[in-house]
Amino acid sequence: MPGTPLPDAEELLAALTDQMRSHVGPDCGLIGIHTGGVWLAERLHHALGIKVPLGTLDVSFYRDDYRKIGLHRDVKPSQLPFDVEGRHLVLVDDVLYTGRTIRAALNELFDYGRPASIRLAALVDRGGRELPIAPQFVGAAITLAPGQSVELQRAGSGRLALVLHEA
Amino acid sequence: MWLDPSNPQLNKNGELHHLLSIEGLPANVLWQILDTARSFVGVTQREVKKVPLLRGKAVFNLFFEPSTRTRTTFEIAAKRLSADVINLAINVSSQTKGESVLDTVANLSAMQADMFIVRHAASGAPYLIARHVAPEIHVINAGDGRHAHPTQGLLDMFTIRHYKENLSNLRVAIVGDILHSRVARSQIHALTTLGCPEIRVIGPRTLMPSQVESLGVHVYEDMRQGLKGVDVVMMLRLQSERMQGALLPSAQEFFKYYGLTEDKLALARPDAIVLHPGPMNRGVEIDSSVADGAHSVILPQVTFGIAIRMAVMSILAGN
Amino acid sequence: MKIHIKGGRLIDPANGIDANRDVYIAAGRVVAIGEAPKGYSANRTIDASGLAVCPGLVDLAARLREPGFEYMATLESEMQAAVAGGVTSLACPPDTDPPLDEPGLVEMLKFRARSLNQAHVYPVGALTAGLKGARLTEMAELRDAGCVAFSQGDAPMTDNQVAFLAMQYAATFGFAVWLRPQDAMLARNGVAHDGQVATRLGLPAIPVCAETVALSSILILARETGARVHLARLSSAEAVKMVRQAKDLGLAVTSDVAAHHVHLSEMDIGYFDPNCHVTPPFRSLRDRDALRQGLADGTIDALCSDHTPVDDDAKQLPFSEAESGVTGLELLLPLTLKWAEETGLPLAHGLARITSDAARVLGIDAGHLAVGAIADVCIFDPAYYWRVDRAALRSQGKNTPFLGLEVKGKVRWTLVEGQVVYESR
C-alpha cells in the first residue's frame, strides 16, 4: 500500500459512525483524545445523538515518553463533564499505532473513577502495536512504510483530511 | 558550562532549567507555565488528584529559613506529580554545625536528588546553589531574602488572568513594604514581562527601595491616589519586626495610611480584585472585611499556587 | 651585585623622565642613568628592550593576612604576589587578628617580612586598641616599632569624640591618620550600593550618604585638629567633590581609591557574584566615572590594590554572607594601565599614582629612580595580554571579579634594593 493515496477521512468517519450507531447508546460517555480525537468525537457526538456532554482528554501528564521528550509545550486541560463511575465509555482517537497513548488515557480515566466499560474507536489503525490494545471500532486499517507517519488535519471549513509525513 | 552564564536559568535551547527569578525569563516561558498550570487546576479538582509525571523522582525541600506554608504547597504539588518528597529544615541541622550551603547541597546531590526547592534568608542563595549543582539537577527558588519568590509571582499572574483574562489592559497596584518584599519584585517582573501597561507601587518612603522606578513602576505615597481606577490590588505582608522602629512608628499608623479598607478599596474599579500572598496580618495591611469580602481572591490564590508549582516542576523535570 | 637594565623605556614620573635610558645599579642603588659610570662592569644585564622600566610600585593597602588569618593567606604567598605584581613597597592595614595595636606585633610582622627579603612592608598601626574605637593605642611606641600611619582599617569609628581626640593626639607627634569614610550606622547590614542593582536583586543597601556623612565629619575634625589625614577608599562622586572642595580650601588631606573601583560598578554584581562584594560597595557608573576623573585631576592622590585574599569557604556563600574584598596585588599594575589608557593619560601620569604619589602619601623614600635612589624597580611589558585565572595568581586569594578576563600589562622583573626578587619568562 505505500505509495497509494491515503483514504478520505470524511468517508472513514462516515463508516465509523455507521459501525458505532447500533452499539453506542445516548447514555454512553464519548471521550476524544487531544487533538485529532477531539475533532472526531465532536462529529461522532453529534451524529450519534449522544446526550451526555462530550469529554476530552490530554494525556500529556500520563505519557511514558515524558522522560525522553519532556512535557508537551501546549498541554490542554482534560475535561470530563460527567461522572465516569459506572458508565460505559468510548475513547476516540485519530490514529492508532503503538497503543501507548491509549494506555495513558486509560490510566488517566481511572483517576476519575471506575467506569462500567471502555471501548476504543479509531479513524485509522496503522498497526505496530507495542501493547495488548485493540479497537472495537475502526474506520480503516492502513500500512505505512518505515519512517512514514500519518496525521489528521482539520481545515477551516471543518473538513477532516489525513496527511502523510515522511521522516 | 551547560547554562548560559548571562541567564543561568535557561539551558542552551532557551528552555527553563532552573526557576530562580522571573527577571530574565522570556514571556513565552511564563505563558507556558501559566497554560500548563491551567491544566493542572483540572487535575486538582478530580477524585484522584495525582498524575504520574514525576514518578521515581526525588524532590528535596531545602528550607534554610522556616516556612511551613510555602513548604507545604511545594510538597503537595510534588506529591500530586507522584514524586518522592524529602523535607529538610536546614536551619536546625547542619547549618548550626557550621556546614556551608554548598557542602549541604553536595551531600544531598550524592543522594540522587532530581530537584531542589530552596528557601533562604539571603538574596541570591539559589543562584549560588544552581551554579554548583550537577547539570541534571533542577533548582526552584522558593523565596530568597528580599530578592525573588517566582512561584508566588506566577501564581499571582495566574490568579489575575483567571479573573481578568487579559493582562495587557490592566492597572495594577502593589501596596506596602516594597523594600523588603521578594514577592513584590517577582510580581513586578512578571507584570512587565507579560505586558501589563501600568504598575503602581504604594508605600511610605522608608519601605520603598531607591530608584524603584527603574523596574518599570510608578510610585505613589498616597494610597488613595494610588488605588484610583485600578483593576487589581496586590497587598504585601508586613513583617512584625518592621512594624515599630525606625521604618514605621506603629502598626496602627501603618494601617491607617496603607492598610486596605473598604473605603479605600472603593476608589478602585468596581470589579477590582484583591490579592495577598499570605499569611495576612488582619488589621495591619488589610481589614478583615476586605480580606473576606467579595473582591478578595486570596483563597483561590492558594489553590492556584499548587497548580503553578506542579506546572513549574513538570516543565523543569522534562527539560 | 651590579645590574645593568638595558634598552628599556625608563618612566620615572617623579623626575619627569619618559625616554629610552639604560639604568645602572650597584650596591642596591641607582648609580647612573643613560651612560654607564666609569669602570662599571655589570654582573648581570637585563635586556629590557620593548619593555617599560619604572620605580617599584607602592601599594597603600595590602592585607598580608598575618597574624590571624593564615588559612586565607600567608606572608609567604602574599609577599610573592606583591613582587609578581611589581609592588616593592606596601602598607598593610592593622585589621589582622589580633589587630596591630601593640609594638610587639608590629616588630614581629616587620621581622617576618624582612626575613623573606622581598617587598618593603610598612605596617599601619591601629588607631584604637583592638580597633574598637574607644581607647587610643600607644602611637609613639608603635611608630618606633615601624608604623608609618594609624588607622581603623575597615572597623568603624562610631564615636566622634574618640576620633577628635585621636586626631589631636596623632597631630601632637605629626603622625598621619588614615580613615575610611563610612558611617557605620548608615551602612548597617548593607552589602551593595543603594541603587538600581540593590533594588533589583533585593540586596541590603549602603547609601552614598553613609560615605559623605562620615567624610564631612572627618574633614571638619581634620581642620579642627590640624592632623595629617588620609582618606582611604573613596567610592562616590559626591565624596570626590567634597574632597576636591576641601583641597581647594587648603586642607592638607590626601586620598586614595581602590584599583577595582575605577573600573567596576554595581552593574558588575550581575547575578550575585560574591567577588563583587567589596567595601565600600561598587557604586553607580556615574560614581565610577567621577572616581576616574578625580584620580586624573589629582583630587585622589593614589590608587591602591586594597588587596584582601579571601578563601573559597568564606567567599562561595550567598552574596551578603560572603566576606568582602578582592585579591589585588597582581592586578594593581594592569588596572592602573587600563585606567590611564581609557582616560587618555600618558603612561607616566598613570604610573605616578602607584609610585611617586603613593610614596608621598606614605611619607617614604621610594617611588623614584634618580641617581642615588634605592633600586626598587619594576620592569614590565605594557602591551602583553594575560588571562586572570586561578593558576596565574600567586596570591592564595583567587577572589577577583576579573577572573577569566584578559588584562594588559605584565611584570617581567622586579628588583628590590638592587636584587632581582621576581622574574617571569
Measure the CA–CA gap between C399 and C327, rounded to whole angstroms.
6
Tens-level pLDDT at each residue, chain B (319 residues): 345 566 789 998 889 999 999 999 999 999 999 999 999 998 888 878 889 999 999 999 999 988 889 999 999 999 999 999 999 877 655 555 556 788 888 888 888 899 999 999 999 999 999 999 999 999 999 999 999 999 999 999 999 999 998 999 999 999 999 999 999 999 999 999 999 999 999 999 999 999 999 999 999 999 999 999 999 999 999 998 888 889 999 999 999 999 999 999 999 999 999 999 999 999 999 999 999 999 999 999 999 999 999 999 999 998 8
Instruction: Using the predicted structure, report yes or no on whether residue C122 has a pLDDT greater than 60.
Output: yes
Kindly report the backbone phi and psi dihedral angles of residue B160, in degrees, each rounded to the nearest multiple of 5, phi listed first: -60, -45
Contacts of B109 (CB under 8 A, 6+ apart): B133, B134, B137
Beta bridge mates, B87: B61
Specify the higher pLDDT residue, A5 or C104: C104
Q: Kindly state whether C203 is in contact with chain B, defined as any CB-CB distance less than 8 angstroms.
A: yes
| Assigned C-alpha cell, B110 | 550524592
- C-contacting chains (≥3 CB pairs under 8 Å): B
Q: State which H helix or E strand residue C176 sits in.
A: strand C176-179
B124 vs C196, C316, C318: nearest CB = C318
What's the sign of the alpha-carbon dihedral B158, B162, B168, B170? negative
Q: Which chain B residues are within 8 Å of A112, Cβ to Cβ?
A: 46-48
Q: Which chain B residues are closer than 8 Å to C209 by Cβ?
A: none
* Cα C67-C71-C76 angle, rounded to 5 deg: 65
Measured over all CA atoms, what is the biggest interatomic distance in chain A, rounded to whole angstroms?
A: 45
**Which residues make up the CATH 3.40.50.1370 domain(s) of chain B?**
3-148+305-318, 150-301
Q: Do B128 and C317 touch (CB under 8 A)?
A: yes
Give contacts of B39 with chain A, Cβ < 8 Å.
58, 60-61, 75-78
Q: Which residue on chain B is closest to C321 by alpha carbon?
A: B122
Yes or no, beta carbons of C202 and B122 under 8 Å apart: no
φ, ψ of residue B81 to 5 degrees: the values are -95, 10
Cβ within 8 Å of residue B117, ≥6 positions away: B59, B60, B61, B62, B71, B74, B78, B140, B142
Q: Establish how many alpha carbons lie within 13 A of residue C65's alpha carbon, considering only the half-sphere containing its beta carbon.
A: 23
Render the burial of A22-44: b for 16+ CB within 10 Å, e for the rest: eebeeebbbbbbbbbbbbbbbbb
Considering only residues B89 and C313, tell me which one the structure prediction assigns the higher pLDDT: C313
Count CB pairs under 8 A between chains A and B.
Answer: 51
Q: How far is B32 from chain A (nearest CA, A)?
A: 7
Kindly tell me if the per-residue pLDDT of C85 is higher than 90.
yes
CA-CA distance, C367 to A1, in Å (whole number)? 92
Catalytic residue among C95, C306, C357, C376: C306
Contact flag B211-C320 (C-beta cutoff 8 Å): no
Candidates B39, B48, B314; nearest CB to A76: B39
Could you please report the per-residue DSSP string of A42-93?
A: HHHHHHTT--SPPEEE-GGGG-TTHHHH-S-TTPPPPB--S--TT-EEEEEE
B210 with C201: Cβ contact below 8 A: no
CA dist C396 to A153, C99, C108, C403, Å? 66, 21, 21, 14
The string of pLDDT tens digits covering residues C349-401 is 999 999 999 999 999 999 999 999 999 999 999 999 999 999 999 999 999 99
What are the tens digits of pLDDT across the range C277-288? 999 999 999 999
Residue of B62, B118, B146 to mutate, testing the C interface (most C Cβ within 10 Å of its Cβ)? B146
Is residue C306 annotated as a catalytic residue, yes or no? yes
Partner-chain contact B35 A71, CB within 8 Å: no
Q: How many other CB atoms are there within 10 angstroms of residue B121's CB atom?
A: 16
Inter-chain touch C272–B127, beta carbons under 8 Å: yes
pLDDT at B98: 55
Residues of C in contact with B214 (CB under 8 A): 196, 199-200
Write down the residue that cell numbers 478578595 correspond to. Answer: B296
pLDDT at C223: 97
The pTM of the full predicted model, rounded to 2 decimals, is 0.90
Pairwise CB contact (< 8 Å): B51 & A78: no
Helix (H) or strand (E) holding C105: helix C103-116
From C195, C201, C313, residue closest to B123, measured CB to CB:
C201
Question: Hey, which chains touch B, using 3+ CB pairs under 8 Å?
Answer: A, C
- Judge residue C273's burial from the number of C-beta atoms within 10 Å of its C-beta, 0-12 exposed, 13-18 middle, 19 or more buried: middle
Contact (Cβ atoms closer than 8 angstroms) between residue B30 and residue B157: yes
| One-letter identity of residue C31 | V
Class level of CATH domain B3-148+305-318: alpha beta
DSSP one-letter code for B148: B
Residue B90: per-residue pLDDT:
78
pLDDT for the residue numbered B68: 87
All domains of chain C, ordered by start, with CATH? 55-362 (3.20.20.140)
What number of CA atoms fall less than 13 Å from residue C282's CA on the CB side? 28
Instruction: Say what the pLDDT of residue B195 is.
Output: 97
Determine whether the interchain pair A61/B52 forms a contact, defined as Cβ–Cβ distance below 8 Å: yes
Question: Minimal Cα distance from A60: which residue of B?
Answer: B53
Q: Is C319 helix (H, G, I), strand (E, B) or coil?
A: helix
Residues of chain C with Cβ-Cβ distance to B124 below 8 Å are: 201, 203, 271-272, 318-320
pLDDT of residue B2: 46
Alpha carbon of A38: minimum distance to chain B alpha carbons (Å): 16
Domain ranges of chain A: 9-66+74-166
B124, B132, B212 ranked by CB distance to C199: nearest: B212
Q: Using the beta-carbon criterion (under 8 Å), do B51 and A61 form an inter-chain contact?
A: yes
Q: Minimal Cα–Cα distance from B153 to chain C, Å?
A: 15
Q: Give the chains touching A; criterion: ≥3 Cβ pairs < 8 Å.
A: B
Q: Which residues of chain A have pLDDT under 50?
A: 1-2
Question: pLDDT tens digits, residue range C160-216?
Answer: 999 999 999 999 999 999 999 999 999 999 999 999 999 999 999 999 999 999 999
User: Cell 499571582 maps to which residue?
Assistant: B156
- Edge-first strand order for the sheet with C44-47 is C29-33, C23-26, C2-6, C44-47
pLDDT (0 to 100) of residue B1: 36
Closest by CA to C223, choosing from C171, C300, C150, is: C171
User: Hey, are the CB atoms on B53 and A69 less than 8 Å from each other?
Assistant: no
Instruction: Return d(Cα C127, Cα C138) in angstroms, integer.
Output: 9
Q: Which superfamily does B150-301 belong to? A: Aspartate/ornithine carbamoyltransferase (3.40.50.1370)
Distance CA C300, CA C307 (A): 18
Enumerate the residues of chain B whose CB falls inside 8 A of the CB of residue A107: 52
- Percentage of residues in chain C having pLDDT higher than 90: 96
DSSP annotation of B15 reads -
- Shortest distance between the Cα of C235 and any Cα of chain B, in A, equals 18
CB–CB contact A77 B36 (8 Å)? no
- Do chains C and A have 3 or more beta-carbon pairs under 8 angstroms? no
How high is the pLDDT of residue A4?
60
Determine contact, residues C240/C290, Cβ cutoff 8 Å.
yes
Q: Alpha-carbon distance B52 to A59, whole Å?
A: 11
How far off is chain B from C204, nearest CA to CA, in Å?
Answer: 8
Q: Which residues of C touch B120 (CB under 8 A)?
A: 318
pLDDT at position B4 is 59
> H helices within chain B, ranges in order?
27-44, 68-80, 101-109, 125-132, 150-164, 182-193, 223-227, 251-258, 262-265, 288-291, 298-318
List residues of B whose CB lies inside 8 A of any A CB.
32, 35-36, 38-43, 46-48, 50-53, 314-315, 317-319
**Bridge partners, A122 (sequence order):** A93, A138
Query: For residues B91 and B65, is the Cβ–Cβ distance under 8 A?
Result: yes
- pLDDT value of residue B49: 85
Residue of A34, A56, A74, A75 for testing the chain B interface, max B β-carbons within 10 Å: A75
Fold topology of A9-66+74-166: Rossmann fold (3.40.50)
